[in-house]
């Protein structure tokens, strides 16, 4: 469910503080900027701009989505929404495609940190599991029940309560955006302003990326009897997005299936996730970005099998979708 720990990890962690320790909570009125600076450009560095108003730390921003066929908690009412993919998160990769995580342990709400150190290695700073109450308990006191309702419908976990995924995404990723640093919210900020702002920002990006609709428009729809080719999935999503996204597949490797026996194609065969890449103008919260290809930093654009007809986009299991 979470990005593999073997992906490149880079950058020193400021594990229990903001990304820029000398920053104060004063004078971050971003609306006063004449022109927003594009992340990953030569001017998007803390020496030249206010890091609360321009993303200077994780400038390659990914909005990530899941296609899941079940939750494992259907008996508890945790089900998937019909006719849509679900939210995974919003990630701040470095401009070279590497990334870091858990950048501020004072904002650690993840009960199952993955990985459990800040650099993903045994010598990294341990990330202590969160043992407090469910994050769901925060929404009503802060007048955010409408936000909670949306998240419970579209931001769905597997085999664990939804709020644990929300906590993981905030703690691992939001803390590594310069524009979500606590100092950016001013000296009178409430404790959870950054948390709610992050969730609202993720939703804003997600709502602009109708993966199910883009695939459906190309006659690519969930089926247990019809398989698809990666090239067709890529074409449909690239047409909708305007750049090639990363397409992830899980399940058996193609060369481990009967159809792929003897093949060198070891890509996955079950469509399961998609990552949309951006450079963002100003703060990520603006939801104004330049859509870029998943290969912009030299990375792969898919983990799926390339053989024709090798990809399965399975239907949701019976009882796993809401009415």
Residue 281 has pLDDT above 50, yes or no: yes
E-state strands within the chain = 60-66, 86-93, 246-253, 268-280, 289-292
pLDDT tens by residue, 36-65 = 999 999 999 999 999 999 999 999 999 999
Q: Which residue has the tokens 């004072």?
A: 106
Residue 101 lies in a domain: yes
Cα–Cα distance for residue pair 153/137, rounded to 1 Å: 17
- Residue 118 maps to which CATH number? 3.90.730.10
Give yes or no for a contact between 185 and 29, defined as CB atoms under 8 angstroms apart.
no
- Look at residue 146 and tell me if it is in a domain: yes
Give the Cα separation of 51 and 267 in Å (integer): 39
Residue 76 maps to a domain: yes
Domain range for 186: 30-207
Q: Does some domain include residue 112?
A: yes
Predicted confidence (pLDDT) at residue 166 exceeds the cutoff of 70: yes
Beta-bridged to residue 186, according to DSSP, are none
pLDDT at 21: 81
Residues marked as catalytic: 88, 169, 173
In angstroms, the CA 200 to CA 214 distance is 23
Mean pLDDT of the 301-309 span: 98
For the stretch 187-218, pLDDT in tens is 999 999 999 999 999 999 999 999 999 999 99
Residue 1: the pLDDT is: 39
Residue 313 is predicted with a pLDDT of: 98
Answer whether residue 236 is part of any domain. no
**Alpha-carbon span 102 to 115, nearest angstrom:** 9
**Which residues lie across from 285 on neighbouring strands?**
none
> Residues 61, 95: contact at Cβ < 8 Å?
no
Chain position carrying tokens 């006063």: 32
166 and 151 Cβ atoms separated by less than 8 Å: yes
Q: Do residues 191 and 283 make contact, with C-beta atoms less than 8 angstroms apart?
A: no
List CB contacts of 122: < 8 A, sequence separation 6 or more: none
Contact 311, 304 (CB under 8 A): yes
Domain assignment present for residue 39? The answer is yes
- pLDDT at position 121 is 92
Residue 28's nearest CA partner among 47, 58, 54, 56 is 54
pLDDT(12) > 70: no
- Three-state SS for 206? helix
In a domain, 318, yes or no: no
* CA–CA gap between residue 26 and residue 238 (Å, rounded): 41
**What is residue 17's predicted lDDT score, i.e. its pLDDT?**
53
- Contact yes or no for 43/49 (Cβ under 8 A): yes
CB atoms within 10 A of CB 263: 17
What single-letter DSSP state applies at residue 4?
-
Look at the pTM and tell me if it is higher than 0.85: yes
pLDDT digit string, tens, across residues 212-223: 999 999 999 999
Distance, in Å, from the CA atom of 198 to the CA atom of 36, rounded to the nearest integer, reads 19
* Element of type H or E holding 148: helix 145-154
The tokens of 225 are what? Answer: 């009897």
Round the average pLDDT of the chain to a whole number and report it: 93
148-158 per-position pLDDT tens digit: 999 999 999 99
Whether residue 270 lies inside any domain: the answer is: no
Domain count, the chain: 1
Structure tokens belonging to residue 271: 């469509």
The string of pLDDT tens digits covering residues 218-257 is 999 999 999 999 999 999 999 999 999 999 999 999 999 9
């Amino acid at each position: 469910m979470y990005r593999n720990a073997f992906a490149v990890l880079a950058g020193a962690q400021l594990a229990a503080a903001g990304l820029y320790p000398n920053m104060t909570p004063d004078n971050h009125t971003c609306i006063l900027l004449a022109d927003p600076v594009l992340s990953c450009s030569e001017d998007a560095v803390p020496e030249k701009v206010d890091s609360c108003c321009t993303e200077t730390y994780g400038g390659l921003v990914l909005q990530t989505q899941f296609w899941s066929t079940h939750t494992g908690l259907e008996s508890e009412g945790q089900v998937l929404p019909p006719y849509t993919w679900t939210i995974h998160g919003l990630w701040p990769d470095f401009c070279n495609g590497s990334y870091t995580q858990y950048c501020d342990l004072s904002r650690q709400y993840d009960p199952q940190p993955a990985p459990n150190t800040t650099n993903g290695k045994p010598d990294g700073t341990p990330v202590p599991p969160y043992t407090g109450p469910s994050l769901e308990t925060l929404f009503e006191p802060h007048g955010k029940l409408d936000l909670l309702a949306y998240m419970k419908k579209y931001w769905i976990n597997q085999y664990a309560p939804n709020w644990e995924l929300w906590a993981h995404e905030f703690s691992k990723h939001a803390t590594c955006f310069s524009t979500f640093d606590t100092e950016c919210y001013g000296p009178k900020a409430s404790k959870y302003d950054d948390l709610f702002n992050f969730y609202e920002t993720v939703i804003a990006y997600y709502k602009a990326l109708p993966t199910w609709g883009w695939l459906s428009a190309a006659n690519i729809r969930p089926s247990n009897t019809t398989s698809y080719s990666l090239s067709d999935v890529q074409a449909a999503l690239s047409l909708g997005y305007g750049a090639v996204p990363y397409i992830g597949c899980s399940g058996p490797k193609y060369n481990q299936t009967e159809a792929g026996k003897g093949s060198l194609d070891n890509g996955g065969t079950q469509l399961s996730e998609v990552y949309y890449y951006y450079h963002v103008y100003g703060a990520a919260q603006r939801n104004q970005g330049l859509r870029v290809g998943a290969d912009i930093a030299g990375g792969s654009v898919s983990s799926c099998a390339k053989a024709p007809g090798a990809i399965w986009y399975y239907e949701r299991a019976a009882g796993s979708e809401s009415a």
